[in-house]
Every structure is written in C-alpha cells, then in structure tokens.
Amino acid sequence: MQVLVLGAGQLARMMSLAGAPLNINISAFDVGSENIVHPLTQAVLGHGLENAIEQADVITAEFEHIPHHILDVCEQSGKFLPTTDAIKAGGDRRIEKALLDNAGVKNAKYAVISSREDFTKAIEHVGMPMVLKSALGGYDGKGQWRLKSADQVEAIWAEMEACIAATSTQAIVAEEFVPFNREVSLVGARGKDGQVEVYPLAENVHTDGVLSLSTAIEDAGLQEQAKAMFTAVANSLDYVGVLALEFFDVDGQLLVNEIAPRVHNSGHWTQQGAVTCQFENHLRAVCGLPLGSTKLIRKTSMINILGEDSLPTSLFAMEGCHIHWYGKDKRPGRKMGHINVCADSNEELVTKLVALARELDKEAYPAVHAFAAQH
C-alpha cells in the first residue's frame, strides 16, 4: 500500500515509522516546493502533484494549512482521506466554529471580525476579556491577541487590520476568554465503517502557546463527555482517520477549543503508552483496515524537545524513557523531538518526571521543572 502524505514534517516521518511493519509505504509531498520526498531522509523522490497522486493508493495530510487548489485536485482523484472538508475546517477558524455549532458541541462564544464595526459589535456580543485569533494560518499560539480592557482596543485593532489586509480571505475570530482549570485533548480514530476508538484523554501544558508536556489521564466522567463530542464531530464530517479535539476543562465541563484533522502532538505518548499508536491507527483507518486497540498499557507523559538538538546520555539509562528525534536542523523554539516517559503507576511517573527535571535544562524545559517543583 502506497500512502501519500501532504506535508513532509515529523508527523509524516512518524507515520512512515509506524507503517513500515505493515508494508504501508509513505511518501511525503512538500506543498511549498511540490517535491515528493522520503519522509525519513528527505531525499527527493520526484516532483509535482500529478505525479504524486498517480503513484499513491491513498492520500492524507499531516497539517491543515494546505492551499485549497491542492486539496481540490486531491479530492478529485477520489483517493483523499479524511475528507478535504475536515482539512479546510481545521485550517479556517470560521469554518471550524460553524462545524462545532452544527455538531452541537459546546465551544466558546464567538464573533467574526472583518471590519472596525464588526470589532465593536464583537466586544458587545462576546465581552472582555477576549481572545482574538486570525481565522487562517494560526498555529502554536501565533496570530493571536488578548483584549483585556477598553484602552487596548485601538492598538490591537491596528495590528488586526494589518493582518486582515495582508490576505484577501483573512478575518479574525473573537472568542470569550475561558477561565479554564486545565487543558485536555482527545485523540481518536474513525474507520471507513464508522467504528470510533478513542485514546484516554491527555492533560496538556503549554509554554508560550506551544505544547510542552502532555500526560495520559484516566477520568471516566470527562472521558465520556469528550468521546460524545468527538463522535458528534467525526460523524458530522464522515471522517476517516485520526482526529484530535482540544478542550478547556472548566470545573469538569468540557468546551471544545479547536479541532485538528490529523495525528496530533498530544497523541505522541501513544507510541509507548497505548496498544496501537495514533500513527498506525491513522494508517489503518485510511487504508480501510480494522482499527487497533487504543487501550492504555502504561502511564505515560510526553515532553516536547523545543529548540534543542541534544539530550544528556543519562536519559538512555532511565527505564521507560524513550527518545524520538525528528532529524531537523536546530532553530530556536522549533519542535525537534519528544521524550515519552512510561511508568507502572502514577506515583512512579511522578518520580520519573522529577528525576528528568534534574537532568533537563531549566530554560529549555520549564514545564517539567514546574511539574517537579509542585511534586
């Protein structure tokens, strides 16, 4: 089976690693250069979308900010999954919000802003404080503003106006500020036959808008709520593949923050912590195979390696510590790899994270250090 992934980053790389034992071969399409590349070596294997489509049995994506003309050509080939509508929703907060409303899942109150008048109306409708997010192109907390008081309105409007003017289809989505207790996410898969399997929820810590620490949790009440919302969204899209929902947990009530129509950073823990990892399950789904079990096998946390290209050798000596590099050149803040740390009990996981904090740099891993300081 030959699967083409739109995007040639770490998610395509990890799909390739998961697909190899199943004889599922991955090639990656770099949407910028239009080169077909090997997802592990980045060696150029060919060029052009037509060629790439021709060689593929199935086409999928590792990110949502894909030019619509590329998605449309893939759709016409009849080979694309999970559905181009899902990718378009993930890449445009206006479509995403409408989708959540139509699926009947709770999300933060919002308004769409294209003009100064819209901004005034949004402030009346949504209220302050509010979070303002560019409709297109946002990721890792980029393209966002926080409006807390009336004296900030003009300065923020000047920046938002420039953002709207830069792209003809751009707009801003204003959202009420949600006073959440914590952030959690649900990663799951829906098969071609409509079968839905979800992993245990992950509790997520962000540092400067980027995921830094993610831990699989077991909470039957929240899990049930999250699964119901997941199923509503996935069914409404007739989705096939792995999908992630990010939530705000407000006193035990979940509100969807956003969806990611793909394998997700908060699901990387499944490589060691679940029976079948998210990458294999995505491939199983899009290839029309039965889904693998999503059961937790060990308590697991995932630590993102941001902007660093080496780790202390001592980590290799820690039982249950698994290192995953992405083979990228070092750049400040860049997602370079992750560490999965597994344990047989919650207590042992805490002990291991505290031990890891002693080995890892405080500046580069603030979430691990904050965790250790609390335990």
Window 166 to 225, contacts with ligand ATP (CB under 6 A): 175, 177-178, 183, 206, 209
Is 124 annotated to bind a ligand? Reply is: no
Known binding residue 138? Answer is yes
* Position among 92, 246, 249, 280 found at the interface with ligand ATP (CB under 6 A): 246
Element spanning 183, H or E: strand 182-190
Return the C-alpha torsion angle 45, 279, 183, 311, nearest 10: -70
The secondary element (H helix, E strand) that includes residue 14 is helix 10-19
- Taking the least distance from each CB to ligand ATP, the nearer of 214 and 276 is 214
User: Considering only residues 82, 138, 200, 337, which one is a binding residue for ligand ATP as defined by CB under 6 A?
Assistant: 138
Q: Does 62 bind ligand ATP (CB under 6 A)?
A: no
Asked whether residue 97 is marked as a ligand-binding residue, the answer is: no
Within 8 A by CB and 6+ apart from 113, the residues are 119, 122, 132, 160, 164, 171, 172, 173, 174
- Residue 96 CB, shortest distance to ligand ATP, in Å, is 10
CB 170 within 8 A of CB 135: yes
**Cβ nearer to Mg ion, comparing 24 with 89:** 89
92 binds ligand ATP (CB under 6 A): no
Give ∠ CA 296-308-327 in degrees, rounded to 5: 70
Radius of gyration of the chain from its Cα atoms, rounded to whole angstroms: 21
Number of chain positions touching ligand ATP (CB under 6 A)? 17
What distance in Å separates the CA atoms of residue 268 and residue 337, rounded to the nearest whole number? 10
CA atoms of 18 and 30, how far apart (whole Å) = 20
Comparison of 210 and 232: residue with beta carbon closer to Mg ion:
210
Find the binding residues for ligand ATP in span 258-287 (CB under 6 A).
258
**Coil, helix or strand at residue 304:** strand
133 has binding-site annotation: yes
What is the closest distance, in whole angstroms, from the C-beta atom of residue 302 to Mg ion in the complex? 15
Min dist. Cβ of residue 267 to ligand ATP (A) = 13
375 is in an annotated binding site: no
C-beta neighbour count of 157 within 10 angstroms: 19
What residue 127 binds from Mg ion, ligand ATP, none (CB within 5 to 8 A, per partner kind)? Answer: none
d(CA 167, CA 169) in angstroms, rounded, equals 6
Q: Which stretch binds Mg ion (CB under 5 A): 43-51, 74-82, 244-252, 356-364?
A: 244-252
Q: Which residue is nearest to ligand ATP (CB)?
A: 178
| Segment contacting ligand ATP by CB under 6 A, of 15-23, 76-84, 138-146, 226-234 | 138-146
Measure the CA–CA gap between 339 and 119, rounded to whole angstroms: 42
Smallest Cα–Cα separation from 67: which of 92, 93, 96, 95? 92
Known binder of ligand: residue 203?
no
The site partner of 183 among Mg ion, ligand ATP, none (C-beta below 5 to 8 Å per kind) is: ligand ATP
Q: Is 131 in the site for ligand ATP (CB under 6 A)?
A: yes
Q: Which is nearer to ligand ATP, 180 or 348 (CB)?
A: 180
For every residue of 224-283, DSSP letters joined together read HHHHHHHHHHHHHHT--EEEEEEEEEETTEEEEEEEESS--GGGTTHHHHBSS-HHHHHH
Residues in contact with ligand ATP by the rule CB under 6 A: 108, 131, 133, 138-142, 175, 177-178, 183, 206, 209, 246, 257-258
Residues in contact with Mg ion by the rule CB under 5 A: 246
